[in-house]
Structure 1
Amino acid sequence: MLDAIQLTCPHCGERFEALADGSGGDAEYVEDCPVCCRPIRLRLQAGFDGETLGLDADRDD
């Protein structure tokens, strides 16, 4: 199941919506900001039942 999560870009400060899928467990990946196009490292925390517990965004530099 996809969850829509509001994040703030660590580069430009703009808010955007990201989709997270906790069914695969914890994950770390890089996605470009839809506003400034700079890379953002996203860390997904998932519960045992596949529920998305959190999604953190940090600079990827």
Structure 2
Amino acid sequence: MSPSSLWRRAVATPILAGGCGCGFAFSGAAARVGDVQESETVQCPFCGQGNELVLDTSVASQRFTTDCEVCCRPFEVFAECEPGEVLSVEVQAN
């Protein structure tokens, strides 16, 4: 194989099997570790429309900003989780 075909192959199908010590394993866009990801629907504080969030429940306390799927305005998300379970989710206008 030429170097360019090796590069294309590596980019097309990335695989990491915990070699970095992080414990995560994924192939392509199907990244998932056990059942630590949970979906929650929250209402945009601006337009009131529902937005689906996917939360990594292996992180106990989370705070991040995301954009509304409908009105595109940013809002802040605060989530408290236990592995495999979302305890609470709050949203706040930015």
| TM-score of the superposed pair, with normalisation by structure 2 | 0.57
1:36 to 55, 58, 71: 71
Shift of 1:26: 0.1
Q: Does structure 2 retain, via aligned residues, the 8 Å contact 1:4–1:19? A: yes
Q: Helix, strand or coil for the counterpart of 1:36?
A: coil
Percent of aligned positions that are identical: 28
State the alpha-carbon separation in 1 of the partners of residues 45 and 51 from structure 2: 11
State the alpha-carbon separation in 2 of the partners of residues 45 and 10 from structure 1: 19
Shift of 1:27: 1.2
Give yes or no for the alignment of 1:24 onto 2:62.
no
Unmatched segments (≥5 aa) in structure 1:
none
Shift of 1:35: 0.8
**Which structure has the greater CA radius of gyration?**
2
Higher relative contact order (CA 8 A, sep 6+): 1
In structure 1, what residue type is equivalent to 2:92? D
1:53 to 72, 75, 87: 87
Runs (4+) of structure 1 exceeding 6 A deviation are none
Count of residues in Structure 1 that have an aligned counterpart in Structure 2: 58
| TM-score of the superposed pair, with normalisation by structure 1 | 0.83
Shift of 1:55: 1.3
Higher helix share: 2
Unmatched segments (≥5 aa) in structure 2:
1-35
Higher strand share: 1
